[in-house]
């Protein structure tokens, strides 16, 4: 049995779910025969810390007393703001000893302050990507994915993305079936692929203020295979096409066409991941019409064809014969 120690760094102002979410994933995996993750928590002085929610967390030890871990995980939270010279000094010396270095949310700011992200591609919570890029120009910040792997370094976006990343690490260590078992127990998706955007189409666009435009947004999501041309959508909103397009962009921050493209892509991805429906049927259900049109959309947005995407991300429960 391979034993892997996971050390989670705690500090005042930590986001509790950034720490406990991944810990629950590793703890769940450890219930399987032949799997062992030893979970440890540590603060600078070994004393209790107060999370952003007010929750009081009692670490196992001080950082000085903590063992060299296989995986060192640095969570985020409001406590990452400002200077943390003592903590970053410890990270600078000891983080390179870990086989795997992980940050969740704004924990990336602490790693960057310690000089551990220079020359690496990373991500963090969408609201702090610009700050990370500005303050640490030697770091390549990608604001879109929910998590990024760069060698032994793994960084994730905010809060629940840490669970996605932990599931991906369990899959890397012990296989997809165990990761699926843990995900089902936690009632989360097995794994949103790391290149999935931090926001869905509905979240990445603002919600329109006016009711007719909100209804159109909902209609698009529920009917990706319908006629979603601007003229048809404008008619549903009871506006002229020109007025509709201008109002939609002003209130959502994106054009109707781009919004439709995102919704259709997400719908097709879910069907490829969760069903064994033939690609042709998925193309029609998602509004692409033909497999070739869907293939072009996938290659443009994801740099991969639908069949390859399905091969990589289909859940075992949906596996079966499919006319790809």
Give 215-221's long-range contacts (Cβ < 8 A, gap of 24+).
216/248, 217/252, 217/259, 220/259, 220/260, 220/263, 221/263
Across the strands, what pairs with 38? 5
Is residue 129 part of the annotated active site? The answer reads no
105, 108, 234, 245: which one is catalytic? 105
Phi, psi of 270 (to 5 degrees): -60, -40
Which secondary-structure segment (H or E) carries 149? strand 147-150
Structure tokens at 5: 């120690």
Structure tokens at 157: 């976006």
Beta strand 153-156 pairing with 36-43? unpaired
Residue 79 DSSP code = G
Structure tokens at 82: 């400002």
Structure tokens at 59: 């670490």
The span from the CA of 48 to the CA of 11, in Å, is: 8
The span from the CA of 20 to the CA of 17, in Å, is: 5
- Which residues participate in catalysis according to the annotation? 105
């Amino acid at each position: 049995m391979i034993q892997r120690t996971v050390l989670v760094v705690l500090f005042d102002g930590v986001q509790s779910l950034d720490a406990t979410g991944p810990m629950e994933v590793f703890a769940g995996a450890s219930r399987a025969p032949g799997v062992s993750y030893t979970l440890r928590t540590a603060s600078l002085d070994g004393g209790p810390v107060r999370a952003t929610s007010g929750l009081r967390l009692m670490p196992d030890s001080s950082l000085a007393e903590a063992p060299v871990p296989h995986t060192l995980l640095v969570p985020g939270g409001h406590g990452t703001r400002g200077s943390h010279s003592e903590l970053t000094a410890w990270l600078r010396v000891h983080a390179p000893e870990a086989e795997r270095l992980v940050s969740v949310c704004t924990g990336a700011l602490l790693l960057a302050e310690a000089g551990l992200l220079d020359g690496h591609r990373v991500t963090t919570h969408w609201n702090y990507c610009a700050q990370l890029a500005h303050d640490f120009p030697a770091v390549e910040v990608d604001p879109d994915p929910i998590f990024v792997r760069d060698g032994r370094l793994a960084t994730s976006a905010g809060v629940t993305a840490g669970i996605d990343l932990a599931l991906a690490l369990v899959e890397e260590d012990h296989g997809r079936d165990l990761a699926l078992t843990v995900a089902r127990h936690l009632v989360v998706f097995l794994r949103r692929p790391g290149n999935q955007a931090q926001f869905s189409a509905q979240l990445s666009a603002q919600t329109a203020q006016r009711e007719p435009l909100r209804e159109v947004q909902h209609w698009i999501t529920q009917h990706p295979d319908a006629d979603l041309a601007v003229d048809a959508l404008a008619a549903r909103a009871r506006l002229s096409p020109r007025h509709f397009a201008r109002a939609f962009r002003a209130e959502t921050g994106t054009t109707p066409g781009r919004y439709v493209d995102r919704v259709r892509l997400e719908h097709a991805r879910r069907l490829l991941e969760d069903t064994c429906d033939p690609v042709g049927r998925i193309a029609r259900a998602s509004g692409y019409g033909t497999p070739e049109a869907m293939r072009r959309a996938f290659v443009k947005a994801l740099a991969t064809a639908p069949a390859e995407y399905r091969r990589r991300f289909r859940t075992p429960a949906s596996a079966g014969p499919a006319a790809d």
